[in-house]
Amino acid sequence: MWRNATCYNVAHMAYIVPFRALRYDPQRVPVASVVTQPYDKITPKMQEGYYSASPFNLVRIILGKSEPSDSAHNSNVYSRAAGYLADWRRQGIFLEDQQPSLYVYAQRFVKPGSQMELERRGFIALGRVEDYSAGVVHRHEQTLSKPKADRLDLLRSTRAHFGQIFMLYSDPGEIDNLLAQDASPSTEVTDEYGVVHRLWRVSDPALIELVQGKMRDKKLVIADGHHRYETALNYRNERRAGATGPAASLPSNPGGKHSPKGEEPPYEFAMMTFVNMNSPGLLILPTHRVVHGLSAFSPEQFQASARGYFNLEDVDPGVDAPRASAILRESGHAGTALLAATTSRVFLLHSPKAPASLFPGLSDRQQSLDVVQLHKVLLENVLGLSEESIRNQQNLTYVREADEALATVRAGKANVAFLMNPCRIEQVRDIALAGEVLPQKSTDFYPKLLSGLTLYTLE
């Protein structure tokens, strides 16, 4: 056993275990042609590209194409996904590692909009799926029901996890030092964004036990993968409800093939990548907001209305993206700073002064966030967008690149673009640990974790 049986009686504790990952056999397929970005980042154009890259590309499983003949009771994207998984396992496209392992995962990348090269390191393991109320796993985002229903159908059909939930923990660097690697990686691929992904397998039981011990007192914050985490929770609850006998409620290790005894059902765990939130390679990018389709919008009216809630300064209307980002960065040192760009004017908004009545139910910690000031004061109050319309993205588009946001509004395709500074990791941590949430699309952790590097099968 990887741990003693009493571990589960200790409350509020992160518990990780090694596993025998299912991985693409590089002798059969080039790994770069079969792995993908996370399912929710795959555009229709990317989906087409993945389909043509290889007949074994993971997109066929995690985001398959619908077909005219699909029906809920016969063939559909989920039944086809299960079929592909079974076929590819049978053909030896996927091979299962012989020993339970952790997988060190490094990503080397250039920070967008700069020349700075960074490396983010973490490790892939199984993490115990915990109710939020247990105080072990903390979210920072609300989830939507539709994506969870989709992921639950996929999990029910395939009984496997294909992408990792991105988890943050806090550590002075001891765990990264324990898992430092000198050898060549077992997998190395460069993705479509130029990010180099490298993977090393660690199967030394003594080392794994050390890492498990170091993780035991950690609080975990979900960086990316809230929908998949809550799907894993829902699936666990579903399977528990359908299980009988003492094993249904007695946790042990995830599945007979992962441990000698195998008392613990594998659905008690999900595949996660754990990254130290103090890592210099941890990068959060801003997500800018572009507002379009407003029946009546004038820069002057916006300026007059917004002035009641912020100090406003005119900025060169021809400002480019690097300069805009620099202005935001400089102004952001003193607190909230937002840039509003219209077709003819650009405003810097800072020193917020909106009354607390505009933030019902939100803590001071939440009110101090730029993204909350933007949503509650400018989008909802000044522009009159409803919470529901924002949630459904009716008049709102989210854009990663500042130059794209500026170009859209200057081409007359939008009313106003709001440029922002990125959320700081300390803000994400404090909000999450306080049991609070950020508005949707508040954090863009870059780069994304690839799907398909390791797979966790529940049977």
Q: Per-residue pLDDT for 10 more than 50?
A: no
| Confidence bin at 144 (pLDDT 50/70/90) | confident
Average pLDDT over residues 68-78: 76
Q: What is the spatial distance between Cα 174 and Cα 118, in angstroms, rounded to a whole number? A: 20
pLDDT of 153 > 80? The answer is: yes
Q: Is the pLDDT of residue 168 over 80?
A: yes
Determine which helix (DSSP H) or strand (DSSP E) holds 241, and give its type and residue range.
helix 226-242
Q: List all residues 6 or more positions away from 204 whose beta carbon is below 8 Å from its beta carbon.
A: none
Q: What is the pLDDT of residues 221-233, one digit of tens each?
A: 999 999 999 999 9
* CATH architecture of the domain with range 287-421: 2-Layer Sandwich (3.30)
Q: What is the pLDDT of residues 94-104, one digit of tens each?
A: 999 999 999 99
Q: Is the pLDDT of residue 33 over 60?
A: yes
Q: What is the pLDDT of residue 258?
A: 44
Tokens representing residue 9 in the block = 């009686």
Digit-coded pLDDT (tens) for 372-396: 999 999 999 999 999 999 988 899 9
Q: Tell me what percent of the chain is helix, strand and coil, each rounded to the nearest 5.
A: 35, 25, 40
**Domain boundaries, given as residue ranges, for the chain:** 5-283+447-457, 287-421
The rounded percent of the chain whose pLDDT value lies above 70 is: 92
Q: Record the pTM.
A: 0.91
Mean pLDDT of 293-298: 92
In 99-168, where does DSSP find H-type helix? 145-158
Residue 73 pLDDT grade (very low, low, confident, very high; cuts 50, 70, 90)? low
Element (H, E) at 53: helix 44-53
Residue 79 has pLDDT above 60, yes or no: yes
| pLDDT tens, residue by residue, 396-425 | 999 999 999 999 999 999 999 999 999 999
Q: What is the mean pLDDT of residues 198-212?
A: 98
Location of structure tokens 């101090």 = 368
> Average pLDDT for residues 284-313, to the nearest whole number?
96
pLDDT at 67: 83
CA distance 428 to 220: 12
- CB 127, CB 16: distance < 8 Å: yes
Mean predicted lDDT score pLDDT of the chain: 92
Per-residue pLDDT tens digits for 434-459: 999 998 889 999 999 999 999 999 98
Question: Tell me, what's the pLDDT at 12?
Answer: 66
For residue 4, pLDDT over 50 is answered with: no
Beta-sheet strands, E only, within 220-297: 220-224, 269-276, 283-285, 288-291
